[in-house]
Amino acid sequence: MPHTKFDSTSSTAEGTKAQSASERTDQSPDGRTTTTCPECDGRLIVRNDQTHCEDCGLVVDEDRIDHGPEWRAFNATEKNEKSRVGAPTTNMLHDRGLSTTIDWQNKDGYGSTLSARKRQQFQRLRTWDERFRTRDATERNLKHALGEIDRMGSALGIPDATLETASVIYRRALEENLLPGRSIEGMATAALNAAVRQTGVPRSIDELATVSRIDYLEAARAYRYLVRELELPMAPPDPLEYLPRYASALEITAETERRAHDLLEGGMEAGLHSGKHPVGLAAAAIYAGSRLTGEALTQADVSDAIDVSKVTIRNRYQELLEHEIATADSTAAD
């Protein structure tokens, strides 16, 4: 049987040549990474995940490393079932979601029920895990406050991005030691109200007070204190942001909503919204628009749907209509 002779000298030389070639790097004029070809010392070009020589055509590297998962999923359900990573970090959790959470179900990875001894063991682990997640008063305070923000946001349908903003504002208040002498619920409501104002979500402080554990006066007082101490930039509330939501709740026609929008926009240009509650102005504009289009809508209907007194609606809608009439007269005179 013939034996194959192995030339260690040539092999070592070729390995050294390839290594030295790979270490010699250059940059092409168009910014592509290049190296020297180990065969003809030509220029290597990387294109479409393949490295080849532009002179002799030698393909040096063509194996692309896939850093993604080894499984495939065709819908969101399959993706959630096959994924083996945790949730992304979020400011809505006091530890930003980096701690371990032990499931409350007493089942193993195959879905089988745990034995009595294992159930007791995992119950003790859950207890200690809960204790170590909140190790001091600051973390317990933050955990309770963020839970309140999440609860109120869920009750009012506030977007997650706004809740994240509220959690950041509350963390700032906690870092600057603004909480002594204030209730956690009050400051959490104030932080959520500030986030709602900053992100332009049409939710008034009256609505927040209905789902909060404090009354309106304490919520308003805590909000003013938070904005003043943190120097948060707050623009005046825009009544136009409330209009689509209340128009949908009252199921008015598109023509009525358009007229209400025009009335409200004209009134704001004239400064009628200064010092007025935005919800009351939006309600008055809807009622005034219904009067102009002839839609059957009473002050009582608007008052019940938007939770604004009929006196407020009556006063504000008259102001809007008077401004509309004055604008029309001046236009006709011109």
Binding site as annotated, residues for Zn(2+): 37, 40, 53, 56
d(CA 31, CA 52): 16
Q: Is the CB of residue 52 less than 8 Å from the CB of residue 45?
A: yes
Q: Is the CB of residue 267 less than 8 Å from the CB of residue 323?
A: yes
DSSP 204: -
DSSP 124: H
d(CA 164, CA 93): 10
Which two structure tokens, joined as six digits, stand for 323?
A: 């401004």
Residues 6+ apart with CB under 8 A from 265: 240
Q: Is the CB of residue 222 less than 8 Å from the CB of residue 182?
A: yes
Residues that constitute the known binding site = 37, 40, 53, 56
Query: By CB neighbour count within 10 A (0-12 exposed, 13-18 middle, 19+ buried), where does 328 fall?
Result: exposed
* The CA-based dihedral angle spanning residues 190, 192, 198, 202, taken in that order and rounded to the nearest 10 degrees: -110
Q: Is the CB of residue 278 less than 8 Å from the CB of residue 267?
A: no
Which residues share a beta bridge with 51?
A: 46, 61
Q: Which of 263, 304, 282, 275 minimizes the C-alpha distance to 203?
A: 282
d(CA 242, CA 230): 27
Which two structure tokens, joined as six digits, stand for 66?
A: 């896939």
Beta-carbon count within 10 A of 190 CB: 31
Look up residue 100 and give its amino acid.
T
